[in-house]
Structure 1
Amino acid sequence: MTSGLVEALVEASSPSWTRRVRAGRDLASFADVPEASETLVGLLLDVGDTAVTRQTAEALVRVGTVAAIRLIALAVAEADDCQADWLQTGVHDALVGLGGVSEVAAACGKLARDPEEAVRRGAADISAWAGVTR
Structure 2
Amino acid sequence: MMSGLEAALAEASSPSWTQRVRAGRDLASFAHVPEAAEVLVRLLLDVEDTAVTRQTTEALARMGTVAAVRLIALAVAEADGNQADWLQTGVHDALVGPDGVQDVAVACGKLAQDQEEAVRRGAAEISAWTDDTRC
How far has the Cα of 1:74 moved from its partner? 0.1
- Consecutive unaligned residues of structure 1, counting only runs of 5 or more, are none
Partner secondary structure for residue 47 of structure 2? coil
Deviation readout 1:34-93 (Å, 9 max, x if unpaired)? 010000000000001000000000000011100000000000000000000000000000
Partner secondary structure for residue 32 of structure 2? coil
Partner secondary structure for residue 100 of structure 2? coil
- How far apart in 2 are the matches of 1:15 and 1:86? 20
How far has the Cα of 1:104 moved from its partner? 1.0
Partner secondary structure for residue 131 of structure 1? helix
User: How many pairs were matched up?
Assistant: 131
| TM-score, normalised via structure 1 length | 0.95
Give runs of ≥4 in structure 1 deviating > 3 Å.
none
- How far apart in 1 are the matches of 2:101 and 2:49? 26
- How far apart in 2 are the matches of 1:3 and 1:128? 37
Partner secondary structure for residue 47 of structure 1? coil
Equivalent pairs: percent with the same residue? 79
**Counterpart residue identity of residue 67, structure 2:** A
The answer to whether the aligner puts 1:115 opposite 2:115 as a matched pair is yes
Written as runs of structure 1 = structure 2, the 5 A alignment for 1:13-92 is: 13-92=13-92
Q: RMSD over aligned Cα, in angstroms?
A: 1.3
| TM-score, normalised via structure 2 length | 0.94
**Corresponding residue number in structure 2 for 1:4:** 4
**Counterpart residue identity of residue 100, structure 2:** G
